[in-house]
């Protein structure tokens, strides 16, 4: 059964990540809920899988004209700085708090997306 959930995790995170929709939003819950993985380990694994999947997705999205490089420097520059800061903060947070923050983030994201859908 464990292999089933690993395959499910790869399938869902690959499809959603490939579409640029954030495969980690599905990968992390699968790893923590169904496979019992610690939140910090799940988020670390998510980063590694994201890196590998993003490399392939970037080529396809760029080839299809879906990546605009204007002002990308500033997004990358500040993204790198704050990702280091976020990693340092995460290392001090207990997994339980991290799990609650991630859950709250997903709830807010879901509410915002539902509002957008019903406004149209």
The share of the chain scoring above pLDDT 90, in percent, equals: 50
Q: Is the pLDDT of residue 1 over 80?
A: no
User: How many C-beta neighbours within 10 Å does residue 10 have?
Assistant: 15
Whether residue 20 has pLDDT greater than 90: no
Mean pLDDT of 96-107: 93
Total domains, the chain: 1
Given a cut of 80, whether residue 120 has pLDDT beyond it is no
Residues 52, 24: Cα–Cα separation, whole Å: 13
Give the range of the structural domain holding residue 97, as residue numbers without chain letter. Answer: 2-119
- DSSP type of residue 22: -
pLDDT value at residue 83: 92
Name 9's Cβ contacts closer than 8 Å, sequence gap at least 6. Answer: 26, 27, 30, 31, 35
Mean pLDDT taken over the chain: 90
Cβ 30 vs Cβ 40: under 8 Å: no
What predicted TM-score, i.e. pTM, was given to this entire model? 0.77
């Amino acid at each position: 059964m464990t292999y089933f959930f690993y395959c499910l995790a790869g399938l869902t995170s690959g499809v959603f990540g490939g579409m640029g929709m954030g495969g980690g939003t599905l990968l992390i819950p699968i790893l923590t809920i169904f496979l019992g993985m610690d939140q910090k380990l799940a988020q670390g694994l998510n980063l590694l899988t994201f890196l590998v999947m993003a490399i392939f997705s970037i080529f396809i999205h760029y080839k299809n004209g879906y990546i605009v490089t204007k002002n990308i420097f500033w997004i990358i520059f500040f993204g790198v700085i704050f990702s280091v800061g976020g990693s340092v903060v995460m290392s001090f947070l207990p997994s339980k708090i991290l799990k609650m923050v991630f859950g709250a983030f997903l709830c807010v994201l879901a509410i915002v997306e539902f509002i957008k859908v019903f406004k149209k």
